[in-house]
Each structure stands twice: as structure tokens, then as C-alpha cells.
Amino acid sequence: MKIKSAGLLESAAGANQFPDLVMPEIAFAGRSNVGKSTLINSLLTRKKLVKTSSTPGKTRLINFFLINEIFCLVDLPGYGFAKVPAEMRESWRKLIETYLSRRDNLRGVVLIIDIRHGPTAQDRQLKSWLDFHQRPMLVVASKSDKLSRGKCASQLQKIKKDLELTQLPLPHSSLNKEGRGQIWKALDGWLTSA
């Protein structure tokens, strides 16, 4: 995919702020700090389009990025960040669920799991919830540069088993760009499906 243009279209705190679009959309979900925003930058070969941070809880709104004027990539707030007050966590959960259950133009969800840690209970919950809502899903194992080749391979198997997937997750590293081509191939399939 050649990226000709990429820009922030909307930051939404509620469903009334979701952009009124019919173009295809792909969302990125996962635990706080797992690398959602970094993956979007890596896919777009933009270093700073999406704000990233070593402090968890950076992305608090749903950010819609318009790409090539023809589709959107959507950065969701991360879940599972213990330092966020309970009522705020609850409001994020509602925001994410509202988005994922209602968005008609959503073609698929990229669920990101840290390759070192594997899925948490909340990741498993989200996976079952996406299955229930029949949302196409791609699991990406982030930060593959943090482990040796052999350890990466065994962690991919473990994530597959834990989440009861039919295929291995795709590894990704923002440092050496491992997996970028394969991830794009999956996203292209969603974007071009009717």
C-alpha cells in the first residue's frame, strides 16, 4: 500500500463525535502500552503521526486517521491500565464497546498482544466479544525485537493456543519492521472486500 496522505480526522470522546463516514475502517485494540499507536505509525511509515508514549494511557480518545482519502485507521484507547480511576476505565470500556458494536463501516479489528507477556484476561474477553459480534480480527504480536527468534516462535504458538486462534498471530517490530508486509496484506484484504 502506497501512503499518499495520512492525517487526523477526528478525536472522539463519545459516539456523537464519531465521523459520519461510509468509507472502510480498521481499528487497533489492545492493552495500554502494547504498541497500538506505534503499529499505526509503522504501517503508515510515519514516525510521529500518532502520539506514542512510554507512559501507559496515552491514547484516551478514539482517534480516526484518514488515509489516502479512501479509508480510516482507528486508534482505540488501551485497556487494563491499573492507574486509571475505576470510573474512567468504565467510561473507556463503554466508549470502545459502543464503537466496536455499532460501527457499520468497520471492516476488521487488529488485536495487539505483547509477544513477551501473551494475552491477559481482558484480551481474552475482547477476543470472545469480537467473535460474538462476528467482527473479523487479526492478532498481531508486538515488540518482536525484544525476544530471540526461538522465543518469538514459541510465544506465537502460546498466544494462538491461549486465544484459541485458527492461525498464528503475526509478529511485528517497529524497530526492524518485521511483519509489516504481512500485516498490510491482511488489511488490504479487508479494505478491498465488499
Q: By C-beta, is 18 or 79 nearer to ligand GTP?
A: 79
CB of 58 to Mg ion, least distance (A): 5
Q: Are strands 25-30 and 106-114 parallel, antiparallel or unpaired?
A: parallel
Burial tier of 109 (Cβ tally within 10 Å: 0-12, 13-18, 19+): buried
Q: Are strands 71-75 and 62-67 parallel, antiparallel or unpaired?
A: antiparallel
Binding of ligand GTP at residue 78 (CB under 6 A)?
Answer: yes
CB of 173 to ligand GTP, least distance (A): 4
Binding of ligand GTP at residue 53 (CB under 6 A)?
Answer: yes
- Locate 56 and state its grid cell: 501507559
Binding of ligand GTP at residue 33 (CB under 6 A)?
Answer: yes
Rounded to whole angstroms, the Cα distance separating 48 from 169 reads 26
Please, which of residues 111-140 interact with ligand GTP by CB under 6 A?
none
The partner residues of 140 in beta bridges, in order of sequence, read 112, 170
User: SS3 for 29?
Assistant: strand
Q: By C-beta, is 78 or 108 nearer to ligand GTP?
A: 78
Binding of ligand GTP at residue 155 (CB under 6 A)?
Answer: no
Consecutive H or E run containing 100: helix 86-102
- Of the listed pieces 3-11, 19-27, 57-65, 181-189, which binds ligand GTP according to CB under 6 A? 57-65
Sites of contact with ligand GTP (CB under 6 A) = 30, 32-38, 52-54, 56-59, 77-78, 142-143, 145-146, 173-175
